[in-house]
Structure formats: structure tokens, C-alpha cells
Structure 1
Amino acid sequence: MTAASPVVKGWCPGLYAPMQAADGWLVRVRPSLNRISAAQARVIAQEAEGHGNGIITLTNRANLQLRGFSHTDTQDFPGRMIAAGLGLPDAGQEKRQNLLVSPLMGDDPTCAETTAHVADRMQQGLRQTEGLSALPDKFGFAVDGGGFFSVGSLSADIMLQAGAGADMWRVVCGSARSEDLTSEAAVTLALFLATRFVALGLTKRPLREASIGPDLFAESGIVHHALLPLPLWQQKPTVSVGPLIGASAGAYGVGVPLGQITPAMLQACAWAAEQGDGILRLTPWHTMVLAGQQDTAWRETLANEGLVITPNDARLRVKACSGVAGCAQAVADVGAQALDLARFVPPGRVLHVSGCHKGCAYPKPAWVTVVSGLHHSALVRNGCAGDEPLCYLPDKTAVSAQMQLWAKEEGA
């Protein structure tokens, strides 16, 4: 199959739902509230090395995806993860806990004080509401307490965002938001909207079809308002790697180039976490946050393993999928190409190198998107992988030259 005719599967692998790929079977761990202990990190590293092909992906849902499993190993995988505290014995509950939370909840004094309580209530509500198993696999929720990672940094189909007062939260769905509600009322409303989504037989998610939000709010009878677009600076954290000054004592962000972690990288991160509070906080931005770090001696070890420890590292400006090694629809090693082109990407810009027109790694407009093909590469400016290309170039050398030219035009 060529990159010109990608197949959209529309679902994600899970603990009980492995997915076959070009390099074997994929399995996924959804850590509770996006956190794992150093001991759990070592379990995952050993799992990837002993049963997979050694490739672990930190996804844009703050999950950990392991590649290259045999089908037999995928059947035993859930039991081992449950034993490590990384999964639930109930497959339905496991599937439903697709929840992002503020990475520094409970650590950042500027993050809403009740964030952890709201996240726990939301997680319990998702587990207990059996009908939500019918939601699309990619349907997600978020509890966004703001603070160092400002409100609006997290993105999901249904979001609870910290409001203006103590224990006041608003619910955001598509292009609509509620007024500020108590945390209990906000959780109840979020679960109701998700339940109505299922009851109405909808398939397009609010994150992709914003008009669904007002329709669901209308079903609830709750007063809602149009959601004003966030300024670009607020849609993602400006700093997620390096010292997170002002967030909490000893908080430090560690970047994972292209979201790809080796077992050695994860083992090193586990050791680094133990120099602080022993917890790795996974984020949807291909980073992990450590806290309670008393010194920075561990940074050199992480850098030597290939992790990013400084916010100006050009590797943070590129996105790429698994490429030909992991996907039958890709035709090139797009990861290697992305890392090679990173030097041309100006600060504040994003380069996306995609193996096909789906653009799985970055479904948003990028400064430049390179879509690899069998006989040429298509280059899209300020758009997504499926948009109309500005030009077609015959090989990687030509792509590199064009990237260098555009970088010079921007003064980079």
C-alpha cells in the first residue's frame, strides 16, 4: 500500500486490545492519572526488552505504547501489568479511563487545589459508568487545573477546567463551555455529556467536530456559552523541558525525542526520578516531569542516553510517526529524516514529517509538513499532512535544501 491511500483505523491499542503493525503487535499502558513510579518504569522497560522489540512510545495521551510483541505475548501482557499496578482486571474499566490530568497537580501551588480530587472523581465516574465503553476508542477526557501549565494546555473531547473560585470548575465540550460549577456538578455534567454522546449514536468526536459540543449541552439543559479561541501561547506550554521554575520545588521536564523511548532511556529516567520523589509524570507533549530533585547531577546521564534536558533543543520542534519500520502505510524512515531536518526549524515552529497523508503524529497545522511518498515528498506550508502541498520534491537532499531556504527566510 502506498502513502497515497492510507487506511484510517479509528481506534487505539489498549491493554486488552492489541493492534497488529508492521513490526509486530502493539500494546498500550494507560497509567492511572498519567503517573508511574520508578519501579513501574523499570517493569515497562523490562517488558519492552524481554517481550517486544525495545521500542516504547510516549503518546500524545500520556500513555506508554510498546511495540514488536508476538500475539502470544500480548495475551499474557495484561496479567503482568495488573500485577505491577499498571492495569485494571476489568477490561471495560481499563478502556474507559482515557483521562489526561495536569502533570503537576498536587505539586504546583498555582494549580487548582482541588485538581487531584476532581481527577479522582472523574476517574471513578468513568470506571463506574459501564455504558461509556461504547465511546470511540480515541474519545478522551481531561482535568485541567492550570497553574504552571496554564488552563487550555490540555486538549480532549470533554474537559474540566479550573474556574475562577475555590472548587469551581467549568466543563468544555467542542465549541461550548458551561458556567463555573462546583466540582461535583462539573464531574456529573461531564459524565452526562459523554453518556448522551453514546445514546445519540454519534461517531464524530467533539475535539474534531466542535459543533457537537453545543448539541450535547442542549441535551443537558445546562446554560452554556460559546468557547472563545485560546491565544496560541496558551494552547501548549511554552516551557516543558528543563527547570520548571515557579512550578514546584525541584520540578524538571525531560524531553523524549519523537516520543520514542528505549528501555535504557526509561531505566535512566527511573533512576533520575529516585533522586527526587520517585515519580515520573507523563505528559501529552512527549515529556516527563520529575519533582523533588535536590540537584542536577542526573541530567548528564539522561543526556548521554539521548533524552532532551534543555528547552532550546531543536529535537523538540519536530514530530514524526513510526515510519516504515512500524507502519505498513509508510514508505520511509521519517523519524531519522525529522531529526536530520530539526536543525533548520526556527524556534517556536514545528516540523512534521509524516509517513502518509493521515498525519498521525501531529494532526494539527505545522510550519512545514513533509509527507513521504514512493517517488517524491510533498511539502505543505502551515497545514496538515492531508492538505494541498505547496510543492513536490524528488528526494531528501532536495527537501533539506528547501527547508534550509525557508529557515533563512525566517532569519533562522
Structure 2
Amino acid sequence: RYMSGFGNEFSSEDPRCPGALPDGQNNPQVCPYGLYAEQLSGSAFTCPRPTNKRSWLYRILPSVKHKPFTPVYCGNITESWNEVEPDPNQLRWLPFTIPKSLDKKVDFVSGLNTICGAGDAKSRNGIGIHMYTCNTSMTDRCFNNSDGDFLIVPQQGNLLITTEFGKMMVEPNEICVIQQGMRFTVDVYGETRGYILEVYGAHFELPDLGPIGANGLANPRDFQCPAAWYEDRTVHTGYTVINKYQGKLFSCQQDFSPFNVVAWHGNYTPYKYNLEKFMAINAVAFDHADPSIFTVLTAKSTRPGVAIADFVIFPPRWGVAENTFRPPYYHRNCMSEFMGLIKGHYEAKEEGFLPGGGSLHSMMTPHGPDAYCFEKNSMADLEPERVAEGTMAFMFESSFSMAVTKWALETCQRLDKTYYQCWEPLRSHFNPNFRPSHK
């Protein structure tokens, strides 16, 4: 069961306990069914009303009932951005390897690997980009990110995500956002892989539409949050809560399920979105609109128009621009661009850039179509055509200059060291004696 809308004030109660939501106040002296009231705040209490985020949870036992947190092994999760020397080159990774279940059972948390990032969780300003590769479900343990929000992009395999607010099934070509502090666990159904964009100190929101007007891009009504569902279960062997805090992992033990919320209300929730519902805006005369027109969600910085991170997609659409080189243009950018591919073949690099892999074009590092794409599209007949049919590529774009981790550059052994060669066949077409006619 889901409820639709982005950033709305919702209320939900498990149908097994009708009337579990208190009537008329948030924290009565005695809650219905003997529940505990607990507020989860995603913003400062005094934030302006449009940005104030909080939800009230009515649960069988409060989340404060646990043993002390102790440090645990972090694996390949890191916020140490100085492990290796900076690398300004164009970087591309082949599809990241999923561990085979016969070799080793790896769940969502133990399968998290940091590719790159910048900033600092302690100062609440930064970003991390991770891959998850796993083959087994989380059992009697959950994850909680105290550092920031997770935007999860499945690429292979469905995720059944159980949260304190309810359950969400998230499939490839959908995304979900688990906001700061929300506890969740992940069930998988075989070999599973995907991407994660983490932001510290800001929440994702819909971009302003400006001259586009009232409609377009991602519509608020197409976002879904889960309906209340509770689990009243005592775990005699112990339930493990894993907490990501200041870039490190800690764990604590409790003897009950954290998913014991019978009812809740508020506007601070997990949510999911189907990328097929995105209403693309594009050029219908000539030239290119900037790729910002494909922004699904943004996490704003304090500078107007500059994002900590944007989540941008390149969905199937029509290309009709006249007298125009239609693939992405050659480009240098003051932002950092990490690209991933959920399915299909990306139009500007049909070879080498594969689903489950990625690329990073750092600040002011030039990039653009490979030589084959340039030659092919320079001679193409400019008829109306479907672009990116059967494909879904995306970009995590950030105003931060990214540091790449040792795992991504060395340990994972998926770095494509031949990437630069896709531009080497580009040749000069300059002819000072040739002056083309213009329409």
C-alpha cells in the first residue's frame, strides 16, 4: 500500500489497529493501544514552514531502548577523501562485480562500496557516491544513516525495503529516497546491484520549474510513500542496528524489531518514484537545451541555483532539432558529473559504457561523444527520431570537486584504463577554403 504526493503531510495507521493515531494532539498522556509517541525530525525545529520536516511515530517500544553503540568494520565505506592522489582524468568503470552467493553471502550493508565524494558529514556539507553489490537479504539487522539522505538507484534486481513507515518494493527504473535517520532493511532476490547518491546537510526536493510553468519533469503526485505496517517481534538472539555516523559504522543490539510503528503522521517519509513517469522537456527548433532540463530531484546548496547534488536522467524521447548535432555536445563543466546506466545503450558512447558501470568527468575535465558517435551523427539525416529507446542513463551532478577512493581506482579492478582511447580517432575537419551556407 502506498500514498501519493511529494512532501505532503500524510497520516497512516496499520489496519490491524484502527484508531491508533491520537485524536487531535501529537503526544497525549496515554497513546491509543499503549503505544509510545516518538518524533523524527529531519530539519531544525525553527525552519520555515515550507522546509520544516518531521513525522510522529506511534510505536510499540521507542527506538531509545538499545544497548550502547560500538564501532564495527566499515568495509569499503569511507569518507577519507585523501587515500590516493587526485586524478583529473576522464574515468570509466566496467560493470561492478556482484559477489556470487556460493562464494560469500553479502547483504546490502556489507555490499556498500564508496566510489567518490567530497565534503564532511560532521560539518553537514558534502556528498558520497556508492555502489551496492549483494546477493542475500538482511536478517535481523537494519541500517540507519545519521550522516545524510540515500537516493538509491537499482540497476539489477528488485529491492524490498522495509522501513519504520512501511514497506516499498523498488525495481530497476525506479528510485527511492531514504532520508536521514530512517531505519530500514533490504531483502533481495538473487544477485543485486545499484547506485547510491548520498547528500549531507540537505534534503532532496523537486527543482523549480521557472519558465517551464506549472507542469513538467517529475510531477509531485507520482511520488509514493509507504503506508503503515508494523512488526511486533521479539528477537531473542538480538537485533542489530547499524548506524552510519561521521563516515564510520557503529552497531548496537536490541531484542525487538525496529519496525514496530503502528501508526504515523507527518511530512518526513521515505518515498519512491518510477522514472517512466518523467515528463521530458526538450528542444523543438534547433540547438540543445542544457541537461538540467532532465533534473528529477535536487539537493540545494546555500548559493542560489547551485546544487550540492542533482539527480538527472536521460529518458526515451523524441529528437527533432533541425540543423543540429543532436547527441550531447563537447563540454567542460564547473560541476562534477558521475554517470551510470540502468539499461540499454547510451547514445554518445554505445560501446564501453555498460549497465552496472559508471563514469566520472571531474571539474573542467573535457568530455563528450566518442569519435564514432561524432562521425555518425555529423552525417545523419535529421529526421524526427526516437532517442534512447530502451535506455535509461542518469547523472549525479555536484558542485563539489570529487575525490575518488582507493577502492574505485585500484581494489575493485573495474577501472577501464582504455577509456581515453575512445576520443583518439577524432580528426580535424578544418578547411579554411570551405564556407558552408546557413539556413
**Structure 1-normalised TM-score?**
0.23
Bigger helix fraction: 1
Greater Cα radius of gyration, structure 1 or 2: 2
Structure number with greater CO (CA < 8 Å, separation at least 6) is 2
